[in-house]
Amino acid sequence: MSESLKIAVAGLGTVGAGTLRLIHEHGELISARCGRPIMLSAVSARDRRKDRPVDLSAVRWFEDAVAMAADPEVDVVIELIGGAEGAAKAVIESAIAARHHVITANKALLAHHGAELARAAEAAGVTIGYEAAVAGGIPIIKSLREGLAANSIGRIYGILNGTCNFILSTMRETGREFAEVLAEAQKLGYAEADPGFDIDGIDAAHKLAILTALAFGCEVNFDGVHIEGIREVSALDISYAGELGYRIKLLGIASRADSGVEQRVYPCLVAKDSPVAAVEGVFNAVVAEGDFAGTIMAEGQGAGAGPTASAVVADLIDIARGSALPTFAVPAKDLVRAPSLPIERHVGCHYVRLMVVDRPGVIADVAAALRDEEISLEAMLQRGRAPGEAVPVVITTHETEDAAMTRALERIGTLDTVLEPPRRIRIETL
Ligand SMILES: NC(=O)c1ccc[n+]([C@@H]2O[C@H](COP(=O)([O-])OP(=O)(O)OC[C@H]3O[C@@H](n4cnc5c(N)ncnc54)[C@H](OP(=O)(O)O)[C@@H]3O)[C@@H](O)[C@H]2O)c1
């Protein structure tokens, strides 16, 4: 066998530890597939005294991960620290400057600095592997960069955050409210103590921004993603959605039009019989629509030590085999700055739930607000009667521009018979 490939791992937490364990347990298999041995040359983390899953006594320990990344004995630097700035970014920049290949699971960093890092890596003649950064164990980066490389992709979307999918699935199955299910997810270790990144849609948006760049050949543009999280989703809406033939999922959706690229992350209604509706619990799924391949969907575990390590080591094997692909499928210098289309111009159908006083004329006022924005109703649901009291009224609409719906809802929200701000959830046709 030829010379060993020497790796340095920065960050030995969930993903780092999983990666070390996988390399340890599958050392022979990995070396056979690489055609050369893999050697763990150096590691770095914050606290040297912490227990790690494999014996590191023969491995060089660096207090300074940035210095480790520049070490001349290293071939590949694996960054598993996390965070869009700070140590993680410095480690990757240091590795690229030293002409070492880089592997990272860091979606936040790529979402904010993907284009500049891709340019730097390509100028230095090194690769950035980031399979683990999007949808964990699902090989979607490889699918887009290689398997679907001959296709023009019109739309890519998916369930990109397992925490949110777990919460929404559990709310539907049990009829419980968001806060209660979030607390359970935290107890089970599916949600962080500070869950904002997940439940406010930021994590899904990071991944969507990366997928968009890869699918459409444009610079990563996180600021162009319209983001709404799942905090406002209620058990009542999930139940009504079910009656109407839908499930509520947090989707990341990117589509391409002549005038630019639309990127949105929000909870939406999807038909019960659509493939993503059946993806439940902590699972993730990504759907890509290629013009020649047609629609492909990949489903699997989007996080956790095992699936994420699987993706990290797949990148390592590619590098060991000599694979050198442009980071975002086209040379970084050719990535375009596609205009991002604002949500206001998005055209789609809507679900709206109102809490209204049950008295004559209410529906006529609501219908007038919709009519004045040229929004046509598809269906309306009103259950039970409680004269003088609050009752829910649910409306679904035909396609309309988002801005028109927003204006109509603002007006509806001012009616004295409408007791709470209207709740709007977009309906996606998949
Ligand atoms: N967890 C997942 O399921 C998952 C899935 C996909 C992608 N990711 C991504 O993978 C990355 C790592 O996530 P994780 O969950 O493994 O994080 P984690 O468990 O918090 O581990 C972070 C590791 O980084 C080390 N570290 C922190 N600051 C450092 C510094 N300045 N220099 C060197 N090491 C430092 C920590 O050291 P100590 O151990 O000494 O504290 C720890 O080992 C993130 O980018 C995350 O978004 C995670």
List per-residue pLDDT tens for the chain, 430 residues long.
579 999 999 999 999 999 999 999 999 999 999 999 999 999 999 999 999 989 999 999 999 999 999 999 999 999 999 999 999 999 999 999 999 999 999 999 999 999 999 999 999 999 999 999 999 999 999 999 999 999 999 999 999 999 999 999 999 999 999 999 999 999 999 998 899 999 999 999 999 999 999 999 999 999 999 999 999 999 999 999 999 999 999 999 999 999 999 999 999 999 999 999 999 999 999 999 999 999 999 999 999 999 999 999 999 999 999 999 999 999 999 999 999 999 999 999 999 999 999 888 899 999 999 999 999 999 999 877 778 788 999 999 999 999 999 999 999 999 999 999 999 999 999 9
Q: Are 375 and 401 in contact (CB under 8 A)?
A: no
Are 393 and 366 a contacting pair, CB within 8 Å?
A: yes
Specify the pairing of strand 347-357 against strand 38-44.
unpaired
CA-based torsion, 260, 263, 267, 270: positive or negative: positive
Q: H or E element: which one contains 153?
A: strand 153-159
Residue of 9, 14, 54 with the most ligand 1 atoms within 8 Å of its CB, for mutation: 14
- Name the phi and psi angles at 289, rounded to 5: -105, 105
Structure tokens at 292: 């020649």
* Assigned token pair, 153: 């992709």
User: Measured between alpha carbons, how far is residue 379 from residues 191, 248, 354, 355, 392 in Å?
Assistant: 36, 18, 14, 17, 14
- Catalytic pick from 89, 107, 207, 249? 207
Looking at residue 215, its pLDDT comes to: 98
44 forms beta bridges with: 10
> Would you tell me the crossing angle of helices 402-414 and 362-372 to the nearest 10 degrees?
150
Q: What is the pLDDT of residue 1?
A: 53
Angle of the 235-243 helix axis to the 162-174 helix axis, nearest 10 = 70
The two structure tokens encoding residue 373: 């924005």
Distance (Å, whole) CA 299 – CA 315: 19
User: Is 207 among the residues known to form the active site?
Assistant: yes
Measured from the Cα of 87, ligand 1's closest atom is: 31
d(CA 300, CA 286): 9
For 416, other C-beta atoms within 10 Å of its C-beta total: 8
Element at 226 (helix H, strand E) = strand 225-227
In angstroms, the CA 318 to CA 321 distance is 5
214 closest CA partner among 321, 138, 121, 115:
115
**For ligand 1, is residue 55 a contact (CB within 6 Å)?**
no
pLDDT at 386: 78
3-state secondary structure of 403: helix
The predicted structure's pLDDT at residue 387? 80
Query: Which run of H or E residues covers position 352?
Result: strand 347-357
Residues 174, 181: contact at Cβ < 8 Å? yes
Mutate which of 78, 301, 308 for ligand 1? The one with the most ligand atoms within 8 Å of its CB, which is: 308
Ligand 1 binding pocket includes 62 (Cβ within 6 Å): no
Where do the H-state alpha helices sit in 98-161? Answer: 107-124, 140-142
Question: Does any ligand 1 atom lie closer than 6 A to the CB of residue 80?
Answer: yes
Q: Say yes or no: CB of residue 129 within 6 Å of ligand 1.
A: no
Instruction: Tell me if 99 sits within 8 A of 124, measured CB to CB.
Output: yes
**Residue closest to 284 by CA, chosen among 109, 107, 426, 80:** 107
Neighbours of 61 (CB within 10 A): 12
Question: Judging by DSSP bridges, how do beta strands 390-397 and 225-227 pair with one another?
Answer: unpaired
Q: At CA 221, angle to CA 219 and CA 225, rounded to 5?
A: 145
**10 pocket-lining for ligand 1 (C-beta < 6 Å):** yes
Q: Which of 407, 289, 422 is nearest to 351 (CA)?
A: 422
The Cα–Cα gap between 93 and 86 comes to 11
What are φ and ψ of residue 28, in 5° steps?
Answer: -70, -45
Cα dihedral 298/301/302/306 (nearest 10): -130
Under 8 Å between Cβ of 79 and 104: yes
Q: Which residues neighbour 100 within 8 Å (Cβ) at sequence distance 6 or greater? A: 8, 69, 70, 74, 75, 76, 77, 126
Which residue has the least CA distance to atom 25 on ligand 1?
11
